[in-house]
Structure 1
Amino acid sequence: MSDSLPQKTYDAFLFDMDGTILNSLASAERVWGRWAASHGLDVEKFLPTMHGKRGIDTITELNLPGVDPVAEAAIILQGEIDDVEGVVPIPGAIEFLASIPPEKWAIVTSSPITLAKRRLAAAGITEPRFIVTAEDVKVGKPNPQCYILGAERVGVSTSQALVFEDVMAGVKAGEAAGADVAVITHTHAHPFETNHLKIADYRDLTTHMNPDGRLSLQRK
């Protein structure tokens, strides 16, 4: 683990959404907790397993008898769209994102587009020029497909991008895509081990753009 900012520069920044630029933990755990309880799951053990992945992937992996993952994911999605109470930006995120040229960053989220738009609005974060959502990929995180697509949309190579993540599924996706990774720890109740840069939040961070158009992280 390291909290020293990387000295290298990047062509673009790619951000996960939930837990990385906004905190939707309370909302997500209310909705998923009710669903898990209704299916007889151990809610306390289940909740940490569902973060950072597409809802349909989480449900499919459970392999519950008589459960249609597509139908159940739709029910959960509507519940999350209806419940955005307590969805707030990670401290400093709005200002930090504003310091990045709009053509130099993207959101790469496991949330469907309708939920992504709803949560961004609730957190007061302007929708970015580029966004990758659950519908855009055939396989979700930890598969790297999402970050490869995010880099393509911004027009950069993943090897020249810095991925911001908060959970292991996303970290693995960023690694597999060939990107550098920074881990945002603001919502971590139980930290996980990583050799990547760890950042609590964005309050003392800003972005510097070099004359060649490449980005670097800087302390304020």
Structure 2
Amino acid sequence: MSSAATDILQLDRPFQAVLFDMDGTLLDSRAVVERVWRDWAASHGRDFAPVMAESHGRRTIDTVRAFAIAGADAEVEAKKVEAMEIADVEGIVAIAGAAELIARLPSHRWAVVTSAGRELAVRRLTAAGLPIPKNMITAEDVSQGKPEPEGYLKAARLLGTTADQCLVFEDAQAGIEAGRRAGSTVIAITAARPHSFEAACPSVLDYEHVRFELA
């Protein structure tokens, strides 16, 4: 359900709030993510491709646990990865139209829901030249990461509404599933995807190609 790069997706219903994933959705951090996970995979004798695929849209701790390194403490390993990510922000840029869209939204009507930790989220948003949101749900705020809907449900409550009244922007299958399970309308952003991406929801290249209104 993707649209051509020149198409504009017009959403007919108004929304109470807008919820954004961060990596791949508000900003393109592919170069950093690939560098860090490639190094981690190599250091543990793991193939990079499945590690990278597993990491997309998920919390670091969940990715580390998925590969069950013998004799390694998953929480310690996750902290190592997060430290590497915090130290490396080279090449991070905002998705086209993201800054302009955020600037038009009242601060109490939007939030970021990310699988990254808070420190990393602030670091990457700053590197991309995007504002730090008043409302943000990070890895520390949930007991279950995406594709579980907990983060989106919490963000909606934080904004004083319900998830079914929220528009969610995502780029990963895990996040899309989380938004849908929360009951939100989900739009996939494809600008940071290096290959074709057929999501189970409408998709647009970036924020210059979608129009919607707040209720």
Q: TM-score, normalized by length of structure 2?
A: 0.93
Query: Which aligned pairs between 1:157-196 and structure 2 lie closer than 5 A?
Result: 157-196=162-201
CA 195–169 in structure 1, closer or farther in 2 if over 3 Å, else same = closer
Give the aligned residue type for 1:157: T
CA 9–207 in structure 1, closer or farther in 2 if over 3 Å, else same = closer
Give the deviation of 1:48 after TM superposition. 2.1
Residue 18 of structure 1 aligns with which residue?
23
1:13-71 deviations in Å (ceiling 9; x for gaps): 10000000011110111011100011111113321221110000111121221121100
SS of the equivalent of 1:67 reads: coil
Distance in 2 (CA, whole Å) between partners of 1:92 and 1:99 is 11
1:123 aligns with 2:128: yes
Q: TM-score, normalized by length of structure 1?
A: 0.91
SS of the equivalent of 1:36 reads: helix
Distance in 2 (CA, whole Å) between partners of 1:190 and 1:109 is 22
Residue 217 of structure 1 aligns with which residue?
none
Query: Given that residues 111 and 134 in structure 2 are in contact (C-alpha distance below 8 angstroms), is that contact kept between their aligned partners in structure 1?
Result: yes
Q: Tell me how large the CA RMSD over aligned residues is.
A: 1.3
Give the deviation of 1:84 after TM superposition. 0.2
Give the aligned residue type for 1:142: P
1:149 aligns with 2:154: yes
Residue 54 of structure 1 aligns with which residue?
59
Distance in 1 (CA, whole Å) between partners of 2:52 and 2:200 is 25
Show structure 1 runs of 5+ residues with no match.
Answer: 215-220
